[in-house]
Structure formats: C-alpha cells, structure tokens
Structure 1
Amino acid sequence: MAADLWTSVVSLAGVALGGGLTALAQRATQRSAERVEERRQTVATTESRRAEQIDVLKEFVSCAQAAERAAYRRPDPWGDDEDGWMTETGPVMTALWTASGNVTLLCDEALREPVRTYGHALNAAVWRDIGDVEVNEHLEEAKTAFMNAARASLAGA
C-alpha cells in the first residue's frame, strides 16, 4: 500500500513539475515574442518616420528650386505685375514657407537653422533684396549648408 501511495505522490509531483515547467516555458516564449514584436514596431516606426522626413525634404527642395527659378525670371526693372510674374511668384513663395515649416516640424532640429537661412536667402533673391550680387552667388552658401545638414540628418536617421 505504501508503494502505491508513493507511486501516486511521485506521479502527481511529476505532473505538477511538468505543468510548472511548461507554464514557465510558455511565459518565456510569450515574453520573447513580445520583445520581437516591440522591436519590429520600433523599426517600422523609424522607417516610416524616415520616409516622411525624406518626403518633406524633397518637397522643400522642389519648392526651393521653384523659388530660385522665380528669382531668375524676375523682370528687370521691376514694377507692375509684368507678364504675371508676381501673380505666379506669390504662391511659389507661400509653398516654400509651408514646406519650410514642415521640415522644421518633422525633421531633426539641426535642420531648423539651415532651412530658415536658405529660405530667407531665397526670399531675398526673389524680391531682389541682394543688391548687385548674382542670384546663384547669393544662394550658394545657404544652399550648400542646407544640403549638407539634410544629408547629415538623413544619415543619422
């Protein structure tokens, strides 16, 4: 009788131990799966954020090019809305400042000053607030600083 009792106790202890180890293994597997999912979500968020930043930078560069073209097309001497230049240029500059705000909002803080400086340089070039300096000469330093900062920002993202 004692042997039967010990057999039952050992069997019950084995079942309890096996159940405990199974529960522990399932818990460890679940935690591991949760960590993998968190990492996957972090990577997906980072990739999405980077794509968003690239889109915003592309938009700003496109608007900057349109503003630069407007600066080169500006009639000289400037007076009335000759050939619709001013009518066309107003929305171009509005788009530039909107794109500038988007870069400031969504991109690295290191881009804030180069974007602002480049935007102001473009604004001065468009409205001929640059004296006798050529447009490309006036824009060169600010444009280069912006492009370098954008590349550095994207490399670090």
Structure 2
Amino acid sequence: MAGELWVSAFSLAGVALGGALTAFTQRAAQRSADRAEERRRSAATAETRRAEQVQAIQEFLACAQLAERAAYSRPEPWGADEDGWMTEAQAVMTKLWTADRGVVLLCDPALEAPARAYGRALNQAVWRETGDVEVNEHLEEHKDAFMIAARSSLART
C-alpha cells in the first residue's frame, strides 16, 4: 500500500510538473507573440506616419509651385486681368498656408522654420514685396533650405 502511495505521489508530481511546464511554455509563447505583434503594429504605425509626412510635404510643394506660378504671372498694376489674378492668388496663398500647417502638424519640428521661411518668401514674391530682386533669386535660398530639411526629416523616419 505504501508503494502505491509513492507511485501515486510521483504520478501526481509528474502531472503537476508537466502542467506547470506547459503553462510556462504557453505563457512564454504568448509573450513572444505579443511582442511580435507590438513590433508589427509599431512598424505599421511608423509606415503610416511616414506616408502622411510625405503627403504633407508633397501638398506643400504643390501649393508652393502654384504660388511661384502666380508670382511669375502677376499682371502689371492696374492691368486688365489684375482682379482675376488677385482672386486666384489669394486662393493659392490660402492653400499654401493650409499646407504649411499640415507640414507643421505632421512632420519633424525641424521642418517648421524652413517651411515658414519658404512660405513667407513666396508670399513676398506673389505680392511683389521683393524690391528689385527677381522671383527666382528671392526664392532659391528658401526653397533649397526647405528641400534639404525635408530630405533630412524623411531620412530620419
């Protein structure tokens, strides 16, 4: 009878040890799966965030191009098409400032100052507040600074 008790005790201990090892293995596997899922989610979030940043920069550049075109096409004061141009230029500049806010909201903070400076330079070019400086000369430095900052920002993401 005592031998049977030892066998039962060993069997019970074996079952308990097996159950504990199974639970430990399952817990370790679940934690590993959770970490892998978290890495996948983080990567997906980073990918989505980068796509949003690229879109914001592209939108800003598209609006900047429209503003530059408006600066080059400005009619002489009191010209025949000044009212139509003025309405269009105001709409373009509103789009540019909205796109600028998208860059500030979604992109690296280091991109805010170059975007704002480029936007101000475009605003000055559109409204002929550049003195005797040609549009392209006035914009070149600011455009280049923005492009360098945008590339650097996207390289970090």
> Could you say which TM-score interval applies, normalised by the shorter chain?
over 0.9
CA distance in 2, matches of 1:145, 1:88: 27
What percent of counterpart residues are identical? 67
Q: Give the TM-score of the pair, scaled to structure 2.
A: 0.97
CA distance in 1, matches of 2:151, 2:58: 12
Q: How does 1:1-157 map to 2 (within 5 A)?
A: 1-76=1-76, 78-79=77-78, 82=82, 84-157=84-157
Q: Runs (4+) of structure 1 moved beyond 3 Å?
A: none
Gaps of 5+ in 1: none
Q: Give the TM-score of the pair, scaled to structure 1.
A: 0.97
What amino acid is aligned across from residue 139 of structure 1 in structure 2? L
What amino acid is aligned across from residue 72 of structure 2 in structure 1? Y
What amino acid is aligned across from residue 95 of structure 2 in structure 1? A
Report the RMSD for the aligned CA atoms in angstroms.
1.0
- CA apart distance, 1:141: 0.2
CA distance in 1, matches of 2:105, 2:2: 78
SS of the equivalent of 1:79 reads coil
Deviations 1:95-131 (A, max 9, x none): 0000001101110000010000000000000000001
- CA apart distance, 1:2: 1.6
Q: How many residues align?
A: 156
Gaps of 5+ in 2: none
